[in-house]
Amino acid sequence: MRIAFFDSGIGGLTVLKRALDALPNEEYLYYADTRNVPYGVKPKDDVRQHIFNAVDFLAQRNIHALVVACNTATSVCISELRARFGFPIVGMEPAVKPAIVRNSGKKILVFATSLTLKESKLETLIDTLDKKRQVERRELDGLVTFAEAFEFDTPLVQEYLLGKLSNIQWSQYETVVLGCTHFILYRDMIQALAGHTVELIDGNEGTVNHLVNTLGRNRPATPAGGGRIDFYSSGVKDGPDRVHRLMALLK
């Protein structure tokens, strides 16, 4: 089957990586909206338009399913996407539920983009589940821009994270929810700052399980894709240099 993955940029590769483990023989399209990234600091209506443009493009490529590998895009318009397109669409949301289910009393910190934090989807999720008022929220929008420049463990990123996180009393927290797929690329750096007593979780496993279940219902016994991946940046097929860099992140 042909499965499309969509994100504003490279964060969704962290989800695709898991999907390749679970479903190694399908055929994949990975679409990064590099022209419009970052989404998380933009007005909702603009972001919605960018998402629809991207999914319109993917819908013309005979895809059997779409994974919106972006918490921000999911919170902006997942229901509208499902209403408009005929193929199954799997979205993602910050893993607040597993964090609350496992909680033993300390606080939970959700990192997401500013737009995800503003949207009612996350608000409603937290209001419904967070009976003990343990969940706090913070944006780390700067990480999206660093990731798009392929800037990972560098002094500049260290400085940014220290500036954002140094006033947190980590001993009061037991879980950090990485509620943006780009932030997962910085998991080790965040873990080092939070210390080993804080557990970092994300929604990738749940998303891929959901994809597997969704496809399970109408999947041919022998997939023909062989794990092939076509990469696109805002509708333009990626050249060999970028493909090489993206493939390195899937290793």
Which residues are designated catalytic? 70, 180
Instruction: Using DSSP, state whether 126 is helix, strand or coil.
Output: helix
Told to check if 54 binds ligand DGL by CB under 6 A, we report no
Q: Report the nearest approach of ligand DGL to the CB of residue 42 (Å).
A: 8
DSSP string for 212-245: HHHHHTT--SS--STT-EEEEETTEEPPHHHHHH
Please give the Cα distance from 31 to 231 (Å, whole number): 6
Show the tokens assigned to 95. Answer: 């893993």
Instruction: Verify binding: residue 38, ligand DGL, rule CB under 6 A.
Output: yes
Task: Mark 65-104 as b/e (b = at least 16 C-beta within 10 Å).
Answer: bbbbbbbbbbbbbbeebeeebebbbbbbbbbbbebbeebe
Q: Does 67 bind ligand DGL (CB under 6 A)?
A: no
Please, how many CA atoms are within 13 Å of residue 74, restricted to the half-sphere of its CB? 25
Is 207 a binding residue for ligand DGL by CB under 6 A? The answer is no
11 or 88, CB closer to ligand DGL?
11
Position of tokens 């997942």?
78
By the rule CB under 6 A, 5 interacts with ligand DGL? no
139 binds ligand DGL (CB under 6 A): no
Under the criterion CB under 6 A, does residue 165 sit at the interface with ligand DGL?
A: no
The residue among 185 and 193 lying less far from ligand DGL, judged by its C-beta, is 185
Which one of 107, 121, 164, 182 is in contact with ligand DGL (CB under 6 A)?
182
Sign of CA dihedral 235, 240, 246, 251: positive
**Per-residue contact track with ligand DGL, 95 to 134, x per CB under 6 A?**
------------------x--x------------------
The number of residues that bind ligand DGL (CB under 6 A) is 17
Interface residues with ligand DGL (CB under 6 A) are: 7-9, 11, 37-40, 70-72, 113, 116, 144, 180-182
